[in-house]
Amino acid sequence: MLEVNSIEIVYCDVLKVLKGISFQVPSGAVVALLGSNGAGKSTVLKAVSNTLELEDGEMEDGAISFDGRRIDRLGPERIVRLGVVHVPEGRGIFDDLTVLENLKVGAYTRSDRAKIRADLEAVLDYFPPLRQRLPFQAGYLSGGEQQMLAIGRALMAHCKLLMLDEPSLGLAPLITGDIFRIITRINREHGASILLVEQNAHLALSVASYGYIMENGKIVLDGPSDKLLENEDVKEFYLGITDMGAKKSYRHVKHYKRRKRWLS
Amino acid sequence: MDSANFHILMQLLLSGVIAGSVYGLIALGFVVIYKSTTVVNFAQGEIMMLGAYFCYYLVVTHKIPFLPAFVLTLVFSALLGMLVEMVILRPMIGEPVFSVIMITVGLATLLRSIVGLIWGHDTLPFPSPFGDATFEISGMVVSPTEAATVVSAVILFLALFAFFRYTKLGLATRATAFDQRWAFLMGISVRKIFSLAWAIASVVAAVGGVFLGLMGGLEPNMSFIGLKVFPAVVLGGLESIVGAVVGGLLVGISESLAGGYLSGWFGSGVKELSAFVVLLIVLMFRPYGLFGKKEIIRV
Ligand SMILES: Nc1ncnc2c1ncn2[C@@H]1O[C@H](COP(=O)(O)OP(=O)(O)O)[C@@H](O)[C@H]1O
Ligand SMILES: [Mg+2]
């Protein structure tokens, strides 16, 4: 189980982008982290994988633990070894390595050869289009195939928690549907917990059991997916179902009104 | 072409290949460091030189037999490379490229002064363990040292190629070379990879330096070969291992031919210039170098 406890993140010593974020991903669960562009969703994932340092970001306060163990001081490579794997926004494919090499490099932290080979077969069963493309340069794959490769590569690391940053970005709805179905299967068959970051709230809440909504570096709402899907404000601001037509920012809605709706 | 002229051509090509294998080795070092860390190391020639002097010190001053001395030199160079990476370059991570380059230029000057202080500026002859007896291959004269140079270069090149292509660590190095950020997310220790790249580059350079010393003696100015190798690296495309070797050979051969055929008309400087002329011509037709690649542009 991943526990994130009131973390505060600052970029370049001055720009505070996360102002006390707390959430949990229970073992085996699919949890969605939603919010519009710039809310700080990617920053949350970078904090968990401890790769903020590369962008001059720093965690000023709070704690992150996985299976009861503090991980926010561990190097990124140690975190991967614990089974926490981050698939970044834009997929992070190694363009000039072949598809097979990309999958192999995913298993970098492991040395159980027989199991690695079995996992490779499992990945190719989840994502059949990758099989014929194994010997080709990954940079030439289509966007959907690259997303498959990125998820497949994370599975090669034997992940216990898979963190996906906007897997639907730039993909046609049909392909997105395929990928989300496989994400659900991976969760069920592989037993991996999934932290799903999305702007597309409807899509994410359809596979997640619980959701958190972020705005401006804070979590403004959370709850089980079905409740969130019914919530008037969520409908209005994140699902694009609105009576007024005009798109307003969530924070303009009076706080008490929001709470009241959510509690009822 | 009559047979005497043909013979001269072949002899010139051969000396080009011999010099080119040394250039290729040093170029290989450049490429390994650039590829994995995106640092252009201007101290590559000095690291090569230090390796050569170290081997000389063991063999000539301490009378250690060549083979163990050579192995010790490789170990010394690997450690030197890792030390330079750790002490000088690691603190520079995140600094502007220009500062990092200037640091390597500073390091080059430092190493050159150290060598000058310890061993002086005169040329020191480094007797070859391979003997002086030359032999002939279809009429061309080759010394055993020259043959050993080419053979070692070929072995090193194949070993490195296999390392990058077939080993897990080699794969991790290529992944890191493509994008550090994603390498971190794979659980790759990027620091370890940087350290490894500097170790490999220094070892390869030291091998080049030792053979260069055996063929022509040692002097602090031999490190300027590091700059001469630069056109070879750019020719090859900066990021390609095969390119470094081909670039090295091309520079070696063009120098040798220019020295043989053109220096009568243009003076001996033409030899030094020829590499840059070849470079210009190649870049006119292939701006990314012979083996350089354009980035894949996604649609
Ligand atoms: N490396 C960085 N340096 C400075 N500011 C950044 C950096 N990365 C992100 N930010 C800022 O932090 C905020 C949150 O960004 P991000 O976490 O990428 O949001 P999201 O993924 O929700 O779109 C944005 O305002 C963005 O401009
Ligand atoms: Mg983002």
According to the model, what pLDDT value does residue A239 have?
64
Region B213-234 average pLDDT: 86
Average per-residue pLDDT for chain A: 89
* Confidence label for B273 from pLDDT (cuts 50, 70 and 90): confident
Residue B6 exposure: Cα atoms within 13 Å on the Cβ side: 5
B1 within some domain: no
With an 8 Å Cβ cutoff, are A49 and B185 in contact? yes
According to the model, what pLDDT value does residue B293 have?
64
Longest CA–CA span in chain A (Å) reads 59
Type of residue numbered A123: V
pLDDT tens-digit map of B170-215:
999 999 988 989 999 999 999 999 999 999 999 999 999 999 999 9
Most confident of A236-245, B145-154, B234-243, B269-278: B145-154
* Confidence label for A260 from pLDDT (cuts 50, 70 and 90): very low
Strands, E assignment, B148-292? none
Is the pLDDT confidence value at B2 over 80?
no
Phi, psi of B140 (to 5 degrees): -100, 140
Ligand 2 centroid–CA A190 distance in Å is 26
Q: Measured between CA atoms, how close is A102 to chain B, in angstroms?
A: 8
With an 8 Å Cβ cutoff, are A76 and B184 in contact? yes
Q: How many other C-beta atoms are found inside a 10 Å radius of the C-beta of residue A38?
A: 12
- Any residues with Cβ below 6 Å from ligand 1, and which? A 11-12, 15, 17, 35, 37-43, 55, 57
Question: Which one of the ligands is nearest to A90 CA?
Answer: 2
Domain harbouring B236, CATH code: 1.10.3470
Q: How many other C-beta atoms are found inside a 10 Å radius of the C-beta of residue B92?
A: 16
Region A98-111 average pLDDT: 96
Is the pLDDT confidence value at A110 over 80?
yes
Is the pLDDT confidence value at A258 over 60?
no
Most confident of A207-221, B28-42, B118-132: A207-221
Sign of CA dihedral B114, B119, B120, B122: negative
Nearest in space to A243 (alpha carbons), one of A254, A251, A235: A235
Residues B181 and B161: their CA atoms lie apart, in Å, by 24
According to the model, what pLDDT value does residue B132 have?
80
Question: Which one of the ligands is nearest to A33 CA?
Answer: 1
Substitution target in A108, A109, A111, A147 with the highest count of B β-carbons within 10 Å is A108
B4 within some domain: no
B295 within some domain: no
Bridge partners for A164 per DSSP: A87, A196
The total number of structural domains in chain B stands at 1
Residues B100 and B38: their CA atoms lie apart, in Å, by 10
According to the model, what pLDDT value does residue A22 have?
96
pLDDT tens-digit map of A28-44:
999 999 998 999 999 99
Region A185-200 average pLDDT: 93
> Is-contact A72 A99, C-beta < 8 A?
no
Higher pLDDT, B221 or A21: A21
B296 within some domain: no
> Is-contact A228 A234, C-beta < 8 A?
yes
> Is-contact A165 A42, C-beta < 8 A?
yes
**Chain mean position to CA B255:** 16
pLDDT tens-digit map of B105-137:
999 999 999 999 999 989 999 988 888 888 887
Q: Measured between CA atoms, how close is A124 to chain B, in angstroms?
A: 19
Quote the percentage of chain A above a pLDDT of 70: 89
Nearest in space to A25 (alpha carbons), one of A142, A196, A207: A196
In this structure, the residue with its CA closest to atom 18 of ligand 1 is A42
Enumerate residues with CB within 5 Å of ligand 2 (an ion): A 42, 89
pLDDT tens-digit map of A117-161:
999 999 999 999 999 999 999 999 999 999 999 999 999 999 999
According to the model, what pLDDT value does residue A46 have?
97
Residues B208 and A136: their CA atoms lie apart, in Å, by 35
Contacts with A105 from chain B: Cβ below 8 Å = 171-172, 175, 186, 188
Region B126-155 average pLDDT: 88
Average per-residue pLDDT for chain B: 88
Nearest in space to A33 (alpha carbons), one of A181, A220, A175, A173: A220
Mutate to test the pocket of ligand 1, among A7, A9, A15, A58 (most ligand atoms within 8 A of CB): A15
Would you state the structure tokens that stand for residue B7, as one six-digit string?
């013979």
Q: Are strands A210-215 and A218-224 parallel, antiparallel or unpaired?
A: antiparallel
B293 within some domain: no
Sign of CA dihedral B20, B25, B29, B35: positive
